[in-house]
């Protein structure tokens, strides 16, 4: 019985490590007009054919997982689907119309606009994924993705591509939170709404 239990536990651990490689930081938006981080967000993508529970996993802008935001219990990224970690769920709702698949981290994660690194850890504090851009933060500028212009995001092309070289994996795109980075399904009214919201927020709040 003890042997079976040991094998069973080893299998669970092995499968969890396999699943971990299927979750990547797929896209992130960091540009703001203020010193705050209200409009920033990070998109995760599950490239596998199975749902993955990421309860207790962490994300932050430090190699030290103790400084990272802990993802709440009961958080699941569905197969071939996305999850948004955002500074403000209200902004995601008002600016992008997203109310599902959004978890708010508040000020626990602040991405430096001149360049930074984002680290994603599993529940054992093992780093699952890392991306860096600009001056690269703790990772340095080597292989860093380029910075982007205001209003644009850095996104993997295609979704889930991971060579461990952000300069090759990430490109500047119009933000597509909770959609594939190749998404082209915005209709005319959606584009008009996005432009109008940007215009209003620029005037009122300076983002």
HSE-CB at 111 with a 13 A cutoff on CA atoms is 28
Q: Which tokens in the block code for residue 126?
A: 């093992």
- Pick out the chain residues at pLDDT < 70: 1-21, 184-207
> Given this model, what pLDDT does residue 193 score?
55
> Given this model, what pLDDT does residue 1 score?
53
**C-alpha span between 68 and 54 (Å, rounded):** 14
**Structural domains of the chain in order of their starting residue, each with its CATH number:** 25-205 (2.60.40.1260)
Q: 82: Cβ–Cβ under 8 A, 6 or more apart, which residues?
A: 26, 43, 44, 45, 46, 101, 177, 178, 179
Tokens 């851009």 belong to residue: 133
Give the DSSP H or E segment for 120: strand 115-121
Nearest residue to 183 (alpha-carbon basis) of 172, 175, 171: 175
**C-alpha span between 7 and 13 (Å, rounded):** 10
> Given this model, what pLDDT does residue 33 score?
82
**C-alpha span between 179 and 61 (Å, rounded):** 24
Give the DSSP H or E segment for 190: helix 188-205
**C-alpha span between 76 and 110 (Å, rounded):** 23
pTM confidence score? 0.82
The 3-state DSSP class for residue 205 equals helix
Nearest residue to 170 (alpha-carbon basis) of 150, 151, 143: 143
Nearest residue to 122 (alpha-carbon basis) of 71, 168, 69, 57: 57
């Amino acid at each position: 019985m003890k042997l079976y239990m040991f094998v069973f536990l080893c299998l669970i651990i092995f499968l969890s490590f396999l699943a971990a490689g299927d979750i990547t930081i797929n896209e992130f938006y960091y540009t703001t007009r203020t010193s705050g981080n209200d409009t920033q967000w990070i998109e995760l993508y599950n490239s596998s054919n199975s749902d993955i529970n990421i309860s207790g996993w962490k994300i932050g802008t430090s190699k030290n997982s103790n400084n990272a935001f802990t993802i709440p219990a009961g958080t699941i990224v569905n197969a071939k689907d996305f999850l948004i970690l955002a500074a403000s769920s209200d902004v995601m709702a008002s600016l992008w119309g997203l109310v599902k698949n959004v978890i708010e981290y508040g000020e626990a994660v602040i991405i430096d606009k001149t360049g930074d690194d984002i680290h994603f850890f599993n529940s054992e504090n093992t780093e699952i994924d890392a991306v860096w851009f600009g001056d690269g933060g703790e990772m340095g500028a080597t292989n860093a993705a380029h910075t982007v212009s205001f209003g644009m995001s850095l996104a993997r092309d295609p979704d889930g591509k991971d060579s461990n070289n952000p300069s090759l994996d990430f490109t500047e795109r119009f933000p597509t939170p909770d959609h594939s980075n190749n998404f082209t399904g915005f209709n005319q009214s959606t584009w008009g709404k996005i432009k109008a919201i940007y215009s209003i927020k620029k005037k009122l709040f300076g983002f």
